[in-house]
């Protein structure tokens, strides 16, 4: 055991609660980053993965609640699952719009649904060690995935290139509201994992699984969208395009991404060391969706 | 030491095999994007029937007053989702209030939704805001229609409407009148001047005898029992109006008739403000009391501190629990009708009777 301990930055902690957002999609065009189908579809993969993925997070966390014996962490988890639930709903509600635009995502999402609900589901396991092992494995996977979502959330809050290129404001607000909440709650999944298990071998194993799975799902997702985009003949994606998108700032820079990924394995890693809660809260204070949600909460009698 | 060069035949074989594999893979991935994963038979993502988070902005093209204290709005969009008689939409008011209004226009018009609202003087502010703040030429936000009150298939129909409860009934009348089915309408209200759509209803009843209009200032309350007694077995009874009217219809329903009620449920989720009841936690083998001023969630948490929940306002869905027995008073805005049959959001929903049994 190394004597380096995860060091949380306490000033980054904030109380978590779900916001009752809504978005109007009828004006969002197919290529919501104008003239850039590759960027559009690379980011669109989020809408394919998150509805099923975040439903699965909640499914797992409902089971892990009894293992949490720290009142503050339990409050964080309760806020976390509400935020994740609304994220899942909000991305899910983009899918009918894609269908309207001639890009039916169902062939892909039905497989992602199977992936999260069956392959990563509860399975028929005897109560006791096997069942606990599988629960802990999934808790660790979520912690690793949240490392990447926090990275993406921080990136999108700072992706000014998307504004400069005239990206659809409604879609940007969805991504940034979501990104900001990911930054807000970026420590929760890691702290849950450290609280209920925290084993380094499990952390490393699930980090590798999560990363390679995400690469697989993303690559296939981009390919699916590019091939089925009704406005593209012979649409294709490539690593080179991804790299160039990173250079332009419309996608995460490949270098940043590669540097960020292994930081999760550092013994002193704590998610609060990366990203800025203040920036996230500032965005949420101005986000059209989040401010309307606020009005709705105070408006209900 | 120089590497031995592979023989030409080996190179050709390997390259050929690689090419075939690539083509086979491409073909498979084209028809199954995440090959080799299978698909879930009934896809969930993108096919949800729960309340959507997506909204739509429509233009108020016309604001009229079809009766005293009633405002009718025509909301224009383009290529709006189709709806059937009985459907309602959520109106997201500028103040943040959300209210549900039945569609009373023509389902065949793909560009317009029409709603009508009555000003409720002592209400919670939704209708007042519609009456005072929404003007022609302004945009208003809605959520797409849903239908909790569909028109049943039946050989004969009795419609019972009280006041503004006529709004979901009106498109039903048009549809039933056009199909030539046998129908009757009992329509009650405070006074003729305050009852909307009387002209159109009388036109639908061109030969006369189908419609009974009862204005309270002329003839008191409508006699639901007499209207029900006059129905033939197999008649579908659709009723929308104030709670006492719906209770009267429910009480007087003769056997062999089906009853379809439209409730104006509290759109704003609030857990408190009703009678106390008890909740049995079947698997735990305990029963908890839910006083009028507490939620089911709060009462359950006393026994089960690990029960999951989050928003406590009925929109995130994480506190959903299976209900084994008892009549649920749904106050959330999220669940689909089939989910409502056997589950509830315990943070806001309550019990219509005295006892619920949860699968906890």
Best of B25, B31, B36, B46 to disrupt the A interface (most A CBs within 10 Å) is B46
Judge: B311–A298 Cβ closer than 8 Å, yes or no: no
Smallest CA–CA distance from A221 into chain B, residue: B33
φ/ψ (deg, to 5) at B259: -115, 130
User: How does pLDDT run across B191-243, given as a tens digit for each residue?
Assistant: 999 999 999 999 999 888 899 999 999 888 889 999 999 999 999 999 999 88
Which among A20, A62, A295 is the nearest to B308, CB-wise? A62
Judge: B53–A220 Cβ closer than 8 Å, yes or no: no
CATH of the domain at B257: 3.40.50.80
What mean pLDDT, rounded, does chain A reach? 94
Smallest CA–CA distance from B317 into chain A, residue: A85
**Last residue within a domain, chosen from B123, B147, B171:** B147
CATH of the domain at B143: 2.40.30.10
Smallest CA–CA distance from B271 into chain A, residue: A301
Structural domains counted in chain B: 3
Q: What is the ipTM of this complex?
A: 0.89
Q: Chain-centre distance of CA B184, in angstroms?
A: 25
Residue B19 lies in a domain: no
Closest CA to B249 of B347, B165, B360: B165
Which among B38, B46, B269 is the nearest to A109, CB-wise? B46
Name the pLDDT band for A152 (thresholds 50, 70, 90): very high
Smallest CA–CA distance from B306 into chain A, residue: A66
Judge: A48–B97 Cβ closer than 8 Å, yes or no: no
| pLDDT recorded at residue B271 | 45
Of the candidate ranges A251-260, B90-99, B235-244, B340-349, the one whose mean pLDDT is the lowest: B90-99
Min Cα–Cα distance to chain B from A9, Å: 25
- Name A108's Cβ contacts closer than 8 Å, sequence gap at least 6: A48, A220, A221, A224, B33, B34
| pLDDT recorded at residue B268 | 41
Judge: B310–A78 Cβ closer than 8 Å, yes or no: yes
| pLDDT recorded at residue A185 | 97
Best of A48, A73, A89, A295 to disrupt the B interface (most B CBs within 10 Å) is A89
Judge: A110–B53 Cβ closer than 8 Å, yes or no: no
Taking contacts as CB-CB distances below 8 angstroms, the residues of chain B near A21 are: 53
Name the pLDDT band for A84 (thresholds 50, 70, 90): very high
Q: What is the mean pLDDT of residues B164-180?
A: 94
Closest CA to B340 of B236, B234, B254, B265: B265
Judge: A118–B40 Cβ closer than 8 Å, yes or no: yes
Q: What is the mean pLDDT of residues A140-160?
A: 97
| pLDDT recorded at residue A2 | 47
| pLDDT recorded at residue A4 | 64
B87 and B118 both lie in a single domain: yes
Q: Check whether A298 has a pLDDT greater than 90.
A: no
Name the pLDDT band for B273 (thresholds 50, 70, 90): low
Judge: A92–B46 Cβ closer than 8 Å, yes or no: yes
Best of A16, A20, A87, A102 to disrupt the B interface (most B CBs within 10 Å) is A20
> What does the DSSP assignment read for B134-148?
--TT-EEEEEEEEES
Judge: B316–A25 Cβ closer than 8 Å, yes or no: no
Residue B33 lies in a domain: no
Q: Check whether B1 has a pLDDT greater than 70.
A: no
B140 and B169 both lie in a single domain: no
Q: Using CA atoms, how far apart are residues B309 and B297, in angstroms rounded to an integer?
A: 8
Min Cα–Cα distance to chain B from A91, Å: 9
Residue spans per domain, chain A: 28-292
Q: Using CA atoms, how far apart are residues A157 and B33, in angstroms rounded to an integer?
A: 30
Which among A89, A115, A295 is the nearest to B96, CB-wise? A295
Q: Check whether A297 has a pLDDT greater than 80.
A: no
Which among A83, A93, A111 is the nearest to B54, CB-wise? A93
Q: Chain-centre distance of CA A64, in angstroms?
A: 20
Using H for helix, E for strand and C for coil, what is the string for chain A?
CCCCCCCCCHHHCCCCCCCCCCEECCCCCCCCCCCCHHHHHHHHHHHHHHHHHHHHHHHHHHHHHHHCCCHHHHHHHHHHHHHHHHHHHHHHCCHHHHHHCCCCCHHHHHHHHHHHHHHCCCCCCCCCHHHHHHHHHHHHHHHHHHHHHHHHHHHHHCCHHHHHCCCCHHHHHHHHHHHHHHHHCCCHHHHHHHHHCCCHHHHHHHHHHHHHHHHHHHHHHHHHHHHHCCCCCCCCCCHHHHHHHHHHCCCCCHHHHHHHHHHCCCCCCCHHHCCCHHHHHHHHHHCHHHHHHHHHHHHCC
> In this prediction, what percent of chain A has a pLDDT beyond 70?
97
| CA dihedral sign of residues B212, B214, B219, B224 | positive
**Last residue within a domain, chosen from B91, B124, B147:** B147
Min Cα–Cα distance to chain B from A296, Å: 4
Which among B40, B98, B311 is the nearest to A18, CB-wise? B311
Closest CA to A274 of A286, A262, A288: A262
Name the pLDDT band for A59 (thresholds 50, 70, 90): very high
What mean pLDDT, rounded, does chain B reach? 90
B161 and B256 both lie in a single domain: yes
The answer to whether B316 touches A82, Cβ cutoff 8 Å, is yes
Judge: A81–B30 Cβ closer than 8 Å, yes or no: no
Judge: B54–A96 Cβ closer than 8 Å, yes or no: yes
- Name B183's Cβ contacts closer than 8 Å, sequence gap at least 6: B156, B157, B158, B159, B173, B176, B177, B210
Q: What is the mean pLDDT of residues B5-14?
A: 87
Name the pLDDT band for B266 (thresholds 50, 70, 90): very low
CATH of the domain at B346: 3.10.20.30
User: How does pLDDT run across A215-267, given as a tens digit for each residue?
Assistant: 999 999 999 999 999 999 888 889 999 999 999 999 999 999 999 989 999 99
Where residue B96 falls (left for φ over 0; alpha for ψ -120 to 50; beta otherwise) is left
Q: What is the mean pLDDT of residues B278-293?
A: 94
Q: Using CA atoms, how far apart are residues A238 and A222, in angstroms rounded to an integer?
A: 9
Smallest CA–CA distance from B39 into chain A, residue: A111
Q: What is the mean pLDDT of residues B273-298?
A: 92
| pLDDT recorded at residue B262 | 87
B258 and B285 both lie in a single domain: no
Q: What is the mean pLDDT of residues A21-33?
A: 94
| pLDDT recorded at residue A67 | 96
Range(s) of the domain holding residue B125: 56-147
B249 and B318 both lie in a single domain: no
Question: Highest-confidence range of B127-131, B211-215, B272-276, by mean pLDDT?
Answer: B211-215
B162 and B258 both lie in a single domain: yes
Burial tier of B203 (Cβ tally within 10 Å: 0-12, 13-18, 19+):
exposed
The answer to whether B284 touches B190, Cβ cutoff 8 Å, is no
| CA dihedral sign of residues A141, A143, A147, A149 | positive
Q: pTM here?
A: 0.88
Of the candidate ranges A219-228, B107-116, B123-132, B181-190, the one whose mean pLDDT is the lowest: B123-132
Name the pLDDT band for B264 (thresholds 50, 70, 90): low
Name the pLDDT band for B95 (thresholds 50, 70, 90): confident
User: How does pLDDT run across A68-78, given as a tens digit for each residue?
Assistant: 999 999 999 99
């Amino acid at each position: 055991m190394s004597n380096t301990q995860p060091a949380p930055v306490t000033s980054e902690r904030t109380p978590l609660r779900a916001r009752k957002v809504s978005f109007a999609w009828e004006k969002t065009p197919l290529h919501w980053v104008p003239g850039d189908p590759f960027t559009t579809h690379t980011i669109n993969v989020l809408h394919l993965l998150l509805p099923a993925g975040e439903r699965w997070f909640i499914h797992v966390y409902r089971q892990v609640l009894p293992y949490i014996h720290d009142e503050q962490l339990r409050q964080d988890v309760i806020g976390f699952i509400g935020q994740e639930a609304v994220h899942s709903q909000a991305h899910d509600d983009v899918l009918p719009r894609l269908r309207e635009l001639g890009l039916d995502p169902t062939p892909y999402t039905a497989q992602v649904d199977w992936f999260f609900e069956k392959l990563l589901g509860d399975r028929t396991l005897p109560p006791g060690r096997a069942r606990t092992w599988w629960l802990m494995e999934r808790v660790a996977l979520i912690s690793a995935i949240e490392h990447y979502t926090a990275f993406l959330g921080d990136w999108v809050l700072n992706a000014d290139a998307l504004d400069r290129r005239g990206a659809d404001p409604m879609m940007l607000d969805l991504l940034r509201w979501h990104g900001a909440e990911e930054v807000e709650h970026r420590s929760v999944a890691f702290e849950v994992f450290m609280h209920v298990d925290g084993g380094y071998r499990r952390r490393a194993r699930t980090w590798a699984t999560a990363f390679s799975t995400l690469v697989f799902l993303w690559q296939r997702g981009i390919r699916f969208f590019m091939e089925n985009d009704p406005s593209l003949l012979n649409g294709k994606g490539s690593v080179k395009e991804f790299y160039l998108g990173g250079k332009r700032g419309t996608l995460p820079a490949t270098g940043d991404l590669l540097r960020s990924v292994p930081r999760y394995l550092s013994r002193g890693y704590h998610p609060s060391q990366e990203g800025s809660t203040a920036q996230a809260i500032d965005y949420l204070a101005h986000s059209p969706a989040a401010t309307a949600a606020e009005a709705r909460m105070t408006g209900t009698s | 030491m120089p590497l031995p060069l592979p023989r030409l035949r080996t190179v050709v074989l390997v390259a050929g095999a690689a090419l075939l594999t690539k083509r086979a893979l491409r073909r498979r991935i084209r028809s199954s994007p995440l090959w080799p994963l299978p698909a879930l038979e009934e896809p969930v993502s993108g096919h949800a029937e729960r309340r959507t988070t997506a909204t739509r902005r429509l233009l108020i093209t016309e604001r009229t007053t079809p009766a005293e204290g009633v405002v009718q709005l025509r909301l224009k969009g383009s290529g709006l989702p189709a709806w059937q008689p009985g459907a309602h939409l959520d109106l997201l008011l500028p103040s943040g209030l959300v209210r549900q209004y039945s569609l009373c226009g023509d389902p065949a018009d793909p560009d317009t939704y029409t709603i009508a609202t009555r000003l409720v003087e002592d209400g919670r502010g939704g209708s007042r805001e519609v009456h005072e703040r929404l003007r022609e030429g302004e945009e208003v936000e809605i959520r797409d229609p849903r239908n909790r009150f569909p028109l049943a298939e039946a050989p004969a129909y009795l419609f019972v409407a009280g006041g503004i409860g006529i709004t979901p009934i009106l498109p039903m009348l048009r549809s039933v009148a056009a199909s030539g089915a046998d129908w009757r309408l009992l329509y009650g209200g405070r006074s003729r001047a305050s009852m909307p759509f009387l002209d159109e209803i009388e036109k639908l009843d061109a030969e006369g005898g189908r419609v009974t209009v009862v204005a309270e200032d002329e003839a008191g309350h409508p006699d639901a029992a007499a209207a029900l007694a006059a129905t033939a077995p197999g008649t579908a009874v659709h009723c929308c109006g104030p709670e006492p009217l719906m209770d009267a219809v429910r009480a007087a329903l003769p056997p062999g008739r089906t009853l379809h009620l439209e409730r104006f449920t509290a759109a704003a989720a609030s857990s408190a403000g009703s009678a106390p009841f008890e909740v049995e936690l079947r698997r735990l083998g305990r029963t908890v009391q839910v006083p009028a001023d507490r939620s089911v969630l709060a009462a359950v948490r006393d026994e089960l501190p690990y029960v999951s929940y989050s928003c406590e306002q009925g929109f995130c869905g994480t506190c959903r629990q299976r209900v084994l027995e008892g009549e649920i008073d749904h106050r959330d805005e999220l669940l689909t009708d089939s989910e409502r049959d056997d589950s509830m959001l315990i943070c806001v929903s309550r019990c219509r009777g005295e006892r619920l049994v949860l699968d906890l």
